[in-house]
Every structure is written in structure tokens, then in C-alpha cells.
């Protein structure tokens, strides 16, 4: 079977949202996705796109997604943040994740960014091993910090 890796387009977003929901289930957060199809379409393909993506197609069906966006490091300059690399669970044996990963790296390298950064759950050892084997530095000493909208409001109200 031939896997096609290509730039995502607006009409791919229903499939992208399906994959995002599948990832949420995999990460034990099945009810955490608040994103709507309209958000993906507007945020990725509106007047000022906030992200780019590559999709993986197998037999005319989208089975994988790599979604990323530009960031800026005060130490390095331009970087890319790989938000999610998702492959439909029953298609993981086809090494589609590696192909999407390679495509993002090729894109970043051509852009001349100084690094690509992303997060991986500490219990996802297959992904951690894959990233380490690819030459990526898994930085265990850094903690992710997030503040949701409710916490922002609470902070600002105090």
C-alpha cells in the first residue's frame, strides 16, 4: 500500500478532527477536545493561518496528521512547534508516523529554523524511544506549564 504524505488542505479538516479525537482517547483525555471543525478551518486556512499541517493518505483515506506552527526562541530565533503527530491506531504498522515526522523535519530544515520542539507524555515509551533513536533530545528536566482560560480569569480577577 502506498502512503501519500502531502500538505493539508481545508477539506482535510474533518479527518484531522477525527484523528485529534482519537489522540485524545489514546492520551486518556476523551472529553478534553473543545476544538470544532470551524476552528480548524478558520485557524488553519483563514486570512492569517495559525498552523500548517501534513496529512498521510492511505487508499484515499486520511490516516495521519502532523500539525505544527511557528514559534520564536529568545535564545535561538525562529523555531517550529510540532503540536501533534497522530496516526490512526490500526494503521501504525505502516510506519506512517515516521514519514510524517520526516516531512516536518524536511520542511523545518528548508525554512532554516533553529529547532523543532514538541511534547511527549512520559508514559509513551514507544514514542520516546522513536524520538531518541531519531537524534532528538528528550529533555526530562523541563516541566510543561499551562494555564487554561478559567485559571487566566481567576488570576486576572485577583
Following DSSP, what letter does each residue of 93-104 receive, concatenated? GG-HHHHHHHHH
> Cα 102 vs. chain centroid, distance in angstroms?
13
Q: What is the CB neighbour count within 10 angstroms for residue 3? A: 16
The residue among 83, 99, 91 whose CA lies nearest residue 134 is: 99
Check 69, 72, 101, 131 and give the catalytic one: 131
Does residue 131 have an active-site annotation? yes
The residue among 142, 148, 98 whose CA lies nearest residue 117 is: 142
The residue among 49, 4, 46, 43 whose CA lies nearest residue 20 is: 43
Q: What is the CB neighbour count within 10 angstroms for residue 104? A: 21
Q: How far apart are CA 108 and CA 102, in angstroms?
A: 10
Please give the positions annotated as active site: 131
Amino acid at each position: 500500500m502506498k502512503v501519500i504524505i502531502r500538505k493539508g488542505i481545508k477539506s482535510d479538516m474533518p479527518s484531522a478532527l477525527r484523528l485529534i479525537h482519537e489522540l485524545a482517547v489514546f492520551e486518556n483525555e476523551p472529553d478534553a477536545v473543545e476544538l470544532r471543525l470551524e476552528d480548524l478551518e478558520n485557524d488553519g486556512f483563514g486570512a492569517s493561518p495559525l498552523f500548517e499541517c501534513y496529512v498521510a493518505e492511505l487508499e484515499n483515506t486520511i490516516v495521519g496528521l502532523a500539525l505544527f506552527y511557528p514559534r520564536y526562541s529568545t535564545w535561538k530565533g525562529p523555531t517550529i512547534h510540532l503540536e501533534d503527530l497522530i496516526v490512526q491506531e490500526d494503521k501504525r504498522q505502516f510506519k506512517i508516523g515516521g514519514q510524517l515526522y520526516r516531512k516536518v523535519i524536511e520542511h523545518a530544515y528548508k525554512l532554516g529554523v533553529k529547532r523543532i520542539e514538541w511534547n511527549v507524555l512520559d508514559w509513551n515509551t514507544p514514542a520516546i524511544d522513536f524520538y531518541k533513536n531519531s537524534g532528538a533530545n528528550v529533555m526530562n528536566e523541563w516541566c510543561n506549564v499551562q494555564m487554561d482560560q478559567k485559571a487566566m480569569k481567576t488570576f486576572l480577577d485577583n
